[in-house]
Amino acid sequence: MKSKLKILIGLLVIALFFMYLIAQLRVVSDIGQFMPTARHDPQLQALMSELQNGPASTALMIRIHDAGSSTLADFSMRLRQKLIKENEIFREVRNGEEAMDWQEFERLFPYRYLLSEKSDWSSSGLHKTFQQRLVDLRSGAGAVLGDMLGTDPQLVFVKYLHGLIELTGPIKKHGVWFDRQQRSALMLLQVHGEKLELDLMQNAIDQVQKSFISMSPEATAQLEVAGPGVMAVETRAAIERVMHQMTLVIVLLLMIVFVFAYRSLRSLILASIPLASAILVALTVTQLFFGEVHSIVLVFGIALLGVCLDYPLHFFSHLRPDQTPVESLKKIWPTLRLGGGSSIFAFLALLGSGFDGLSQLSIFAASGLVTALAVTRYILPYWLSSDCIKPRLWSVHIEFSFKKRILIALILLMLPVVLIIQSDIFWETSIHSISPVPASARERDQDLRHSLNIPEVSHVFLLASEDVNSVLLASEKIEKSLNELKDLEIISSIWSPSQILPSSEVQYQRQLSLPSSKELKQNTEKALKGLPFRLAAFEAWVKLVETSRDLEPVGYDEILSTPLAVILRQGLFKYQNQWVGVVRVGGVRSNAELHNWLALHPDVKSSYVEIKRATEHLLNEYRKTTFERLIVVVIFLGIVVLLWSRSIHDTIWVLLPVGIGILSGIAMPLLMGTAINVFHLLALLLVLGMGLDYSLFFNRTNGGKLEQQQRFHAISISALTTSSAFLVLAFSSVPVLAGMGQTVSSGILGCFLSSWLLACPQEKSHKEEII
Amino acid sequence: MNYSLFIIFLLLNTSILADTLSDRLSNFSQQKKLHGSFVETWRSGYLNEPLISKGELSYQAPGRFRKVIEHPEPVEQIIKGNRIYISRDGETEIVQLSNQKNLAVGIYALRDVLEGNESSLLERFKSNYSQLNSNWVLELEPRVKQKAKLITLHGQGNYIQRVLILYHNGDSSLTEISNDILK
């Protein structure tokens, strides 16, 4: 009755968790959220946050190539027309031919003389302007110029807006954007959504491809789509593909193994209960603690919980016809509890790292392991009868002398150590090698970004202040200095937020340079001599210029209410209580030349950030912390085992296989030419947990031949299934998964072989009650 | 008039007489290639005197126009589909007609008439067609409010002789077409 109640309560709790997850679970896929935060550098943190969540993250870049330029232009125009109709998906479709809706900018019209560079107000300058307008009118532009001629004959406002578009767009051919070599037509799309949403992005990419195909392009014309969203979608697809393959291998392998080793498929279902419960509870607890679960935590966490499958394996292999399942379990429970408990505390040690990703992983794994242990101990035995599983036991029993064991230990230890020492590489320092994005996708993205003249994010100058105008003033100062770099042709372009919104000081200066109405009237009168324009037609303009002299400078909010907001926000935004300005440079000829110049200009250098280098520095810090935590975990495990075994000798022999497994897990990726990154270190946690489990069981008190067979049976099945499944990952094209696969498969094999060969199970002693 | 001569006169003129707009447009739709010269006069409140430009026009069905301004400054405008290619001083600018409604309205009117596309014409404009003998007048008022207030096409038989565009602000553009242009 009591056991039935336990099962009922257990089922109820699981049902509640399940319902909670259905309603609340939020899985986030943004790799940036798993990455370390630049806590010590709020400006950099602000920029990274803006890059990950700002408008840049929802942009799609398109290149159409492999056809004649006029054909490409035609495709570009037709594709734009098609995509514009999909306004539920695309917020903006640009290819250089789009016109501005002047009404959307009307609010800024009175401020045109404050926003633009100074005009020529002399009578000769104005004469040239009016002559040009005459040519425009005779060319049929009268309908377009319309009333603008009477309010802005210099077309200052049009030039200001066109200048901003030119600044942010590539060169044009046949009326649409082309790359510098004029071989590809280019487009820039903005997908709806404040931040990158993968399903929406997938839908947008599909729509672009479908529309292009429906245009029946020439067989040679090709379409390429790139952007952060494309990389994220491709990465997700690659990860899903590998995970499906891995799942298939695991399921098939487990079915074969369970049918052969336990003569029962039902046992497979029963064995999956602790693991399934562990995942369910781990998800619920992580969601409760953090309000979301990162997809990387999900993948790594579930992999780490793979150790949970070992608990029922040990249980099933130790079933005996002369004992009830509860009695069989109770016999191995102290070892299970020690192994599981140590792993739980080990994972909890990650909590103090200060990195959100590691903290989530820690809570996920620890709560999962507690659940799996509890389900194995308190639920599973009550669902079994003593004769329902009859393990097909096997064993290869080897017992070496102490000296031989020392020799084997040295060989097993030295093998990975030699491989590690001989390797030319060790720590991974490049962020690209860690990124799950394939190199080809990254190169395509970089290439298109360059062609579209999108300001590079790799070289930026960061400015911050509590006051927005101070940021604008600083950005004007930096821009002025950077012009020297442009003159030296070390860079080809500068992008600064003050080009859209000048500081109040600059706006006041421009106001001061505006002529009085009297002066302007006189100059206009002189300028119109010999031209067919009537002086009276420009009276309104003279008055408007006069009004401009008294206007308050334009502020951030005024720009924000226009379509220029998207461009401005890329370079000027508020993060927490600070205004952050980003000045970018493009077309860097040589990094070395840029750095040399910066060395001579310390005032400019103080704001300079090389994003790639800064991110790599952050990642190295992340890896360092994870490595330190791993060391702490190993030490912690050593202390726990020492306390439980009360023998240094036993502790060494129990931990030695774990150490060999970890070294093997490090050596294998190095052997395959992959340097160690943070994900390898995280994968080592699984090796650690399972290795300890193997070692504790192999070193259990010697209970005779049957028990030797039982433990070998359970551990060999675990090692075989785990290393085979992770071997699938080892050959994945996604570096993160490949690293994890190489580390786990080799680490587990190392643990198994060393635990088995070095095991020295004690004869009955004080340990019997303990392990 | 001699009865037989009267019959011959009627037979000769059936192709250029059209009682309704539909008939007129139907006649135009059979024209595939046209060419001629023009004089364009731009009048505006901000000008002391009208601005005059001269040049040549050609049309090729469906929907391709070429307007070459020869005097006073050379400019070439080619209209293909929804695009207008403007070449001046060795540089070509391409403008999407749908993006320049004020520029496009006159082009749409002329194109729909020459192509005989009645449904498109009536979708864009309210029309008023009148005819006296072989002279006809087609008044087109844009349905969507824009700078142009009224476009008037004057013609004789299958000739378009004048296109007058009046703007809300009082400006106007008059294009007078001669020779065999746009017949």
Residue ranges covered by each domain of chain B: 21-178
Query: pLDDT value at position A228?
Result: 78
Indicate the burial class of A709 (C-beta count within 10 angstroms; 0-12, 13-18, 19 or more): middle
Can you say how many angstroms the Cα of residue A499 is from the centroid of all Cα atoms in its chain? 31
A551 contacts A504 by C-beta, under 8 angstroms: no
pLDDT of A661 > 50? The answer is yes
Q: Which of A375, A315, A316, A305 is nearest to A343 (CA)?
A: A305
- Across the interface, of B45, B94, B102, the residue whose CB is closest to A537 is B45
Query: pLDDT value at position A618?
Result: 73
Contacts of A409 (CB under 8 A, 6+ apart): A656, A660, A754, A758
Mean pLDDT of B30-40: 87
Instruction: Please tell me the distance in Å from A137's CA to the nearest CA on chain B.
Output: 8
B24 — phi, psi (to 5°)? -60, -45
Q: Which of A493, A443, A579 is nearest to A63 (CA)?
A: A443
Q: Minimum mean pLDDT among A242-256, A327-341, A488-502, A745-759: which range?
A: A242-256
Query: pLDDT value at position A769?
Result: 43
Print the SS3 string covering A534-589. CHHHHHHHHHHHHHHCCCCCCCHHHHHCCCCHHHHHCCEEEECCEEEEEEEEECCC
Q: Minimum mean pLDDT among A95-109, A658-672, B61-75: which range?
A: A95-109
Q: Return the exposure string of A471-499: e unless at least 16 CB atoms fall within 10 Å of the residue's CB, then b.
A: bbbbbbbbbebbeebeeeebbeebbbbbb
Q: Return the exposure string of A62-99: e unless at least 16 CB atoms fall within 10 Å of the residue's CB, then b.
A: bbbbebeeebbbbbbbbbbbbbeebeebbebbbbbbee
Query: pLDDT value at position A41?
Result: 61
pLDDT of A453 > 70? The answer is no
Query: pLDDT value at position B10?
Result: 38
Can you say how many angstroms the Cα of residue B46 is from the centroid of all Cα atoms in its chain? 25
The residue type of B91 is: E
Instruction: Please tell me the distance in Å from B166's CA to the nearest CA on chain A.
Output: 10
pLDDT of A102 > 80? The answer is no
pLDDT of A134 > 80? The answer is yes
Residue B101: its chain A contacts at CB < 8 A? none
Q: What is the pLDDT of residues A408-449, one digit of tens each?
A: 999 999 999 998 988 888 887 776 666 666 667 777 777 777
Name B80's bridge partners.
Answer: B64, B83
3-state secondary structure of A764: coil
Q: Return the exposure string of A10-29: e unless at least 16 CB atoms fall within 10 Å of the residue's CB, then b.
A: beeebeebeeebeeeeeebb
Mean pLDDT of B102-113: 86
Which range of A116-120, A240-244, A517-521 scores highest in mean pLDDT? It is: A517-521
Print the SS3 string covering B112-170. HHHHCCHHHHHHHEEEEEEEECCEEEEEEEECCCCCEEEEEEEEECCEEEEEEEEECCC
Residue B77: its chain A contacts at CB < 8 A? 140
Q: What is the pLDDT of residues A143-173, one digit of tens each?
A: 778 778 888 999 999 888 877 776 666 777 7
Q: What is the pLDDT of residues A359-391, one digit of tens each?
A: 888 899 999 999 999 999 988 888 877 677 777
Q: Which two structure tokens, joined as six digits, stand for B88?
A: 């001046």
**Residues in B lying within 8 Å of A, measured between beta carbons:** 40, 42, 44-49, 51-53, 67, 69, 72-73, 75, 77, 82-83, 85-86, 88, 93-96, 99-100, 102-103, 105-106, 147-148, 165, 167, 169, 171, 173
Residue A137: its chain B contacts at CB < 8 A? 42, 44, 51
Instruction: Please tell me the distance in Å from B127's CA to the nearest CA on chain A.
Output: 21
Query: pLDDT value at position A438?
Result: 65
Q: Minimum mean pLDDT among A34-43, A700-709, A738-747: which range?
A: A34-43
The answer to whether the CB atoms of B96 and A537 lie below 8 A apart is no
- Report the distance separating Cα A286 and Cα A10, nearest Å: 19
Contacts of A602 (CB under 8 A, 6+ apart): none
Indicate the burial class of A6 (C-beta count within 10 angstroms; 0-12, 13-18, 19 or more): middle
Instruction: Please tell me the distance in Å from A81's CA to the nearest CA on chain B.
Output: 10
The answer to whether the CB atoms of A143 and B95 lie below 8 A apart is no
Q: Which two structure tokens, joined as six digits, stand for A224?
A: 């390429």
Residue B68: its chain A contacts at CB < 8 A? none
The answer to whether the CB atoms of A97 and B94 lie below 8 A apart is yes
- Report the distance separating Cα A435 and Cα A428, nearest Å: 11
- Report the distance separating Cα A605 and Cα A485, nearest Å: 13
Q: Which two structure tokens, joined as six digits, stand for A314?
A: 């040990």
Size of chain B in residues:
183
Query: pLDDT value at position B13?
Result: 42
A684 — phi, psi (to 5°)? -65, -25
Residue A85: its chain B contacts at CB < 8 A? none
Mean pLDDT of A756-761: 83
If you measure CA to CA, which chain A residue comes closest to B82?
A: A77
B21-178 in CATH: which number?
Answer: 2.50.20.10
Contacts of A678 (CB under 8 A, 6+ apart): A434, A619, A622, A623, A626
| Measured CA angle at A190 (ends A162, A117), to 5 deg | 20
- Report the distance separating Cα A483 and Cα A477, nearest Å: 10
Mean pLDDT of A514-541: 91
Mean pLDDT of A118-132: 90
The answer to whether the CB atoms of B103 and A176 lie below 8 A apart is no
pLDDT of B165 > 90? The answer is yes
Q: What is the pLDDT of residues A578-609, one digit of tens each?
A: 898 989 887 778 888 988 999 999 988 888 88
Query: pLDDT value at position A201?
Result: 87
Residue B170: its chain A contacts at CB < 8 A? none
Mean pLDDT of B51-75: 88
A145 contacts A136 by C-beta, under 8 angstroms: yes
Q: Which two structure tokens, joined as six digits, stand for B171?
A: 């400006």
- Report the distance separating Cα A9 and Cα A16, nearest Å: 11
The answer to whether the CB atoms of A77 and B53 lie below 8 A apart is no
Please count the CA atoms within 13 angstroms of the CA of A217 that sit on its side-chain side.
25
Q: Which residue out of B47, B101, B169 would a mutagenesis test of the A interface target, given it has the greatest number of A Cβ atoms within 10 Å?
A: B47
- Across the interface, of B67, B85, B173, the residue whose CB is closest to A142 is B173
Whole-complex ipTM = 0.82
B127 — phi, psi (to 5°)? -120, 155
Which range of A497-501, A683-687, B82-86 scores highest in mean pLDDT? It is: A497-501
Q: Which of A196, A185, A180 is nearest to A78 (CA)?
A: A185
A529 and B CB contact within 8 Å: no
The residue type of B177 is: I
The residue type of A352 is: G
Please count the CA atoms within 13 angstroms of the CA of A712 that sit on its side-chain side.
20
Contacts of A135 (CB under 8 A, 6+ apart): B73
If you measure CA to CA, which chain B residue comes closest to A529?
A: B48
Q: How confident is the model at residue B71 (pLDDT cuts 50, 70, 90)?
A: confident
Q: How confident is the model at residue A29 (pLDDT cuts 50, 70, 90)?
A: low
Q: What percent of chain A has pLDDT over 90?
A: 21
A537 and B CB contact within 8 Å: yes
Mean pLDDT (chain A, rounded): 83
Per-state percent for chain A, helix, strand, coil, to nearest 5 = 70, 10, 25
- Across the interface, of A139, A146, A533, the residue whose CB is closest to B102 is A146
Query: pLDDT value at position A321?
Result: 80
- The torsion of the CA quartet B66, B70, B75, B77, rounded to 10 degrees, works out to -10
A132 and B CB contact within 8 Å: no
- Across the interface, of A135, A176, A533, the residue whose CB is closest to B46 is A533
Contacts of A30 (CB under 8 A, 6+ apart): A52, A195, A196, A232
Neighbours of B13 (CB within 10 A): 12
pLDDT of B3 > 50? The answer is no
A155 contacts B177 by C-beta, under 8 angstroms: no
The residue type of A316 is: F
A137 and B CB contact within 8 Å: yes
pLDDT of B64 > 70? The answer is yes
Instruction: Please tell me the distance in Å from B139's CA to the nearest CA on chain A.
Output: 19
Instruction: Please tell me the distance in Å from A213's CA to the nearest CA on chain B.
Output: 21
DSSP state letters, A291-350: SSEEHHHHHHHHHHGGGGGHHHHHHHHT--TTS-HHHHHHHHHHHHHHHHHHHHHHHHGG
B59 contacts B111 by C-beta, under 8 angstroms: no
Please report the number of interchain residue pairs, chain A to chain B, with beta-carbon separation below 8 angstroms: 86
Contacts of A553 (CB under 8 A, 6+ apart): A114, A504, A507, A508
* R_g over Cα of chain A: 34
Can you say how many angstroms the Cα of residue A35 is from the centroid of all Cα atoms in its chain? 7
Residue B49: its chain A contacts at CB < 8 A? 532
Residue A139: its chain B contacts at CB < 8 A? 53, 69, 73, 75, 86, 88
- Report the distance separating Cα A339 and Cα A3, nearest Å: 25
Which range of A45-49, A294-298, A483-487, B1-5 scores highest in mean pLDDT? It is: A483-487
Query: pLDDT value at position B106?
Result: 86
Q: Minimum mean pLDDT among A399-413, A725-739, B8-22, B101-115: which range?
A: B8-22
A408 contacts A399 by C-beta, under 8 angstroms: no
Which residues 94-113 of A have a C-beta within 8 angstroms of B?
A: 97-99
Contacts of A357 (CB under 8 A, 6+ apart): A33, A34, A35, A36, A294, A296, A297
Print the SS3 string covering B9-77. HHHHHCCCCCCCHHHHHHHHHCCCEEEEEEEEEEECCCECCCEEEEEEEEEECCCEEEEEEEECCCEEE
Size of chain A in residues:
771
Does this model's pTM top 0.90? My answer is: no
Residue A97: its chain B contacts at CB < 8 A? 94-96, 99
How many helices (H) does chain A have, and how many strands (E)?
Answer: 33, 13
Q: Which two structure tokens, joined as six digits, stand for A455?
A: 């300001």
pLDDT of B1 > 50? The answer is no
**In A390-467, which ranges are continuous DSSP H helix?**
402-422, 431-434, 439-451
Mean pLDDT of A282-296: 86
Q: Minimum mean pLDDT among A97-106, A222-231, A244-253: which range?
A: A97-106
